[in-house]
Amino acid sequence: MNNRRSLMTLALVLAVIVTWNMAAQGQEGTEVVKADENVVFFDDFSEGMENWWSEGGVRVWVEDERLHVDAEPGGTRSDRRPGLCATVWCKQQFDGDVKIECDAHVLRSDIDVNNINFFIHFSDPGGAALYDTRDLRPEAGYGHYHQMTGNIITFLSDVREESMKMPASDRPARIRIRHCPGFELLAEEFTHHCRKQRTYHITITKRGGQLSFDVDGKTLLETEDPAPPAGGLFGLRTFRTYLWWDNVKVTGL
């Protein structure tokens, strides 16, 4: 009798534990779903470039479900060959507060600039659709974008003279946030690193005029834009660099 009662008690305890675990797992699953409900865009490039168009570069293509952008035609720092710059625009417009995440990996940069750039909430002040005017920017020259409306974030290896004397493994990254039109510098920092053959998980957060730039979970630069753009297109940008991008996710905040 005592053995039977003990077995019944043990069964009851186990049932309570299982029920509690199922409830906890269900609650966690609900939280994940709620978070995912705010994801307004995701692309792992498994369907190619159907959500994007490119301007400039030597070549832009999808390989192994990654977006490859080659804007490194070779030569010295002073060379001005075709293909030095590339911009890849997402066709979907994003408005308001957002968090943008992606992975980026530099494969080659002959001048060691390792250039990883972003255009946030970009639009034409005159109201023209950027896709309709893409043929005006075949070489993706930087100046074409400076009179548009939006924010530019640059993340690259520092190429100042004092930094170039350092080993590549010790060289800091240079991070800048700008406001356009006008290419106005809002904030700049020399910290962390931006190296070849390393995958960086990048997070950009925009809340009103507040902008932050994180790499691998670490905030490297924050600033406020006193005249933030309300919305526009998101672009991936590079100069004298061959790199790939993956897992682009935009979450509404």
Task: Examine the domain organization and report whether 6 and 69 are in the same domain.
Answer: no
pLDDT attached to residue 133: 97
Q: What is residue 32's three-state secondary structure?
A: helix
pLDDT tens-digit readout, 90-101? 999 999 999 999
pLDDT attached to residue 76: 80
pLDDT attached to residue 23: 36
| CATH number of the CATH domain containing 138 | 2.60.120.560
The Cα 150–Cα 120 span in angstroms is 6
Task: Examine the domain organization and report whether 65 and 189 are in the same domain.
Answer: yes
Provide the residue-wise pLDDT of the chain in tens; the chain has 253 residues: 444 334 334 443 344 333 334 333 333 333 333 346 799 999 999 999 999 999 999 999 999 999 999 999 998 878 878 899 999 999 999 999 999 999 999 999 999 999 999 999 999 999 999 999 999 999 999 999 999 999 999 999 999 889 888 888 889 999 999 999 999 999 999 999 999 999 999 999 999 999 999 999 999 999 999 999 999 999 999 999 999 999 999 999 9
Task: Examine the domain organization and report whether 161 and 54 are in the same domain.
Answer: yes
Task: Examine the domain organization and report whether 97 and 216 are in the same domain.
Answer: yes
Task: Examine the domain organization and report whether 71 and 195 are in the same domain.
Answer: yes
Task: Examine the domain organization and report whether 151 and 46 are in the same domain.
Answer: yes
Handedness of CA 218, 221, 222, 228 (dihedral sign): negative
Cβ-count burial 197-218 (b if 16+ within 10 Å, e if not): eeebebbbbbeeeebbbbbeee
Q: Could you list the residue range(s) of the whole structural domain that residue 64 is in? A: 40-252
pLDDT attached to residue 202: 98
Q: How many structural domains does the chain have? A: 2
Task: Examine the domain organization and report whether 112 and 28 are in the same domain.
Answer: no
pLDDT attached to residue 200: 98
Give CB contacts under 8 A, 24+ apart, made by 211-219: 211/120, 211/151, 211/153, 211/177, 211/186, 213/153, 213/155, 213/175, 213/177, 215/155, 215/173, 218/192
Task: Examine the domain organization and report whether 142 and 218 are in the same domain.
Answer: yes
Task: Examine the domain organization and report whether 22 and 76 are in the same domain.
Answer: no
pTM of the model: 0.84
pLDDT attached to residue 93: 97
